[in-house]
Amino acid sequence: MNNAKINNVIIAGGGTAGWMCAAALSKLLGKNLNITLIESDDIPTVGVGEATIPTLLVFHKLLGINEAEFMAATNATFKLGIAFENWKDVEQDYIHSFGFLGQDCWAAGFQHFWLRGLKQNLVSELGDYIPEHLACREGRFAVLANQDKNYAFHLDAGLYAKFLRELAEKHGCQRVEGKIQQVNLREDNGHIQSLTLASGQQIDGDLFIDCTGFKGLLIEQALHTGYEDWSHLLPCDSAIAVQTTTINKPVPYTRSIAHDSGWQWRIPLQNRTGNGLVFCSRYLSDDDAKQLLLNNIEGELLNEPRVIKFRTGVRRKHWNKNCVAIGLSSGFIEPLESTSIHLIQQSIVRLMLMFPSNGINSAQVDEFNQQTQTEIDNIKDFVILHYYLTDRTDSPFWRYCRSIPIPESLKHRMELFRQSAKALKQPNELFGETSWVQVMLGQGLMPEQYHPIVDLMSDEELQSFLKTVKDGVKRKVGKWPDHLDFIRHYCPAGEQ
């Protein structure tokens, strides 16, 4: 495709995606590259993605980031899961927590033992067998030596970008202030040759990373890559975000509260609370959505609510010619399961693993695109599951969701679980068996049977086994301190 050696990497756009790219490339590959990031102070970033998932711990470890310093700098709190309120039906709630469910055996996951125990009235709720789930409900948290890294963060996305910018510039990344006026293509192969700024400055590069958000200035407006629209599968197309003062102790989980035409998030930081409403404009106007959100928040407003429009879907190629789209320019799955920053991180790591130092070749580009697409497809199925698998019929929006033409891959997973209690996990898939089990059970899909190996246990053995697991979870979590007390000791944020 292009055998020219890659020396100059140009990152178009800042925000979370741009500065995550800049920090990783400059820290881990920077000695061999010239890395330049272009951003304009006049162009606001979306800056809403305040909830993360545990994979961010891996990214931070790669970059050698001190956790307490990062959390203090970004007003972060800990996150152990998501509470889904009114999703199965009105006033029916469940938690999708991080961590692992109970103890498995070689043939069957713990849910099989729990299901037999349920039939014999030997068990309590599923979350009593997951430490992170119990800790969500009890408001506890701790970072201990040799602890499973099954936690994540609520953070201020703007401050996170600022934190990563300092790291990137420390390792040689050059920031250029300016608005991109034009993308200049090479006549011989259609690759991007340079970017012209509004000031007239021209910046040449060998590899371009598009972090320009929904507009996809390079990947779409210049290269016309194409977009696969998923609006028929994920109908929400709008969000309203607002920040409020905090009036209650921060809980160690994100709240996702379903309403008639979408859902509301509530994300506790150390110094404020992030709020928003994701909704479908076919069923709710912007003005009515704004009023609905304002009627369901706590604390005083810290800013004016702002409307964000989006279209769920993905680019037909995430890497096209010498341009790699990362973040919102690559595509968007709504933030229901906090996967946006994860997908940014995965694309960055994938690019570094396949970095085309000696020139771009088609096999590498195809592999990058295939891996990215497979990961996004699995996440898409998991998010659709929440909407489709519901008992709600109380509004046109939810009646539509129950009729979504779900992908065959999701249909197969649901039927497999319904018939056998087996939760399928694809190789290298983000969400594991515990996640699928919690959401499918939480949304009301009850398996018809469990694995026969469970019946090798006598009633007494099963009761003892279930009790041992539950007591172990209770003892473990009982040693953890109060979530807020731990934050005040471990990573208190200063005045911002």
**Each residue of 184-233: pLDDT tens digit?**
999 999 999 999 999 999 999 999 999 999 999 999 999 999 999 999 99
**More reliable by pLDDT, 233 or 145:** 233
403 and 409 Cβ atoms separated by less than 8 Å: no
Spatial distance between the Cα atoms of 243 and 303, rounded to a whole number of angstroms: 6
How many angstroms separate the CA atoms of 76 and 160, rounded?
9
Q: Is the pLDDT of residue 49 over 80?
A: no
Report pLDDT for 2: 65
**pLDDT recorded at residue 109:** 96
Catalytic: which of 27, 79, 290, 422?
79
Instruction: Quote the CA–CA distance of 390 and 80 in Å, as a whole number.
Output: 24
Count of residues in the chain: 496
Mean pLDDT, residues 471-494 taken together? 96
Q: Which of 427-431, 453-457, 477-481 has the lowest mean pLDDT?
A: 427-431
Q: Is the dihedral of CA 58, 61, 62, 68 positive or negative?
A: positive
- C-alpha distances out from residue 486 to 73, 253, 367, 480, 490, Å: 16, 15, 43, 9, 6
- Delineate the domains of the chain, giving CATH numbers in brackets: 8-50+156-231+312-360 (3.50.50.60), 103-148+383-478 (no CATH), 238-309 (no CATH)
**pLDDT attached to residue 119:** 96
What confidence tier does 316 reach under pLDDT thresholds 50, 70, 90?
very high
Instruction: Answer whether 485's CB lies under 8 Å from 454's CB.
Output: no
Mean pLDDT of the chain: 95
User: What span, in angstroms and rounded, lies between the C-alpha atoms of 197 and 178?
Assistant: 6
pTM of the complete model: 0.96
For residue 180, the cross-strand partners are 197
Q: Percent of the chain having pLDDT more than 90?
A: 93
pLDDT digits (tens, 9 = 90+) for 275-288: 999 999 999 999 99
Q: Which of 1-15, 55-69, 227-241 comes out lowest in average pLDDT?
A: 1-15
Percentage, residues of the chain above pLDDT 70: 98
pLDDT at residue 428 in the model = 85
**Nearest CA among 161, 206, 188, 169 for reference residue 341:** 161
Question: Using CA of residue 247, residue 252, residue 254, residue 256, what is the dihedral sign?
Answer: negative
**Residue in 200, 185, 204, 159 with CA at minimum distance from that of residue 36:** 204
Query: What is the reported pLDDT for 250?
Result: 96
User: What was the pLDDT predicted at 46?
Assistant: 61
Nearest to 209 by CA among 19, 400, 419: 19
Checking if the pLDDT of 385 tops 90, the result is: yes
Q: Is the pLDDT of residue 495 over 60?
A: no
Residue 79 appears among annotated catalytic residues: yes
Question: In this predicted structure, what is the pLDDT of residue 496?
Answer: 42
Q: For residue range 83-103, list pLDDT tens digits in order.
A: 999 999 999 999 999 999 999
Residue 424 has pLDDT above 70, yes or no: yes
Sign of the C-alpha dihedral, residues 97, 103, 107, 111? negative
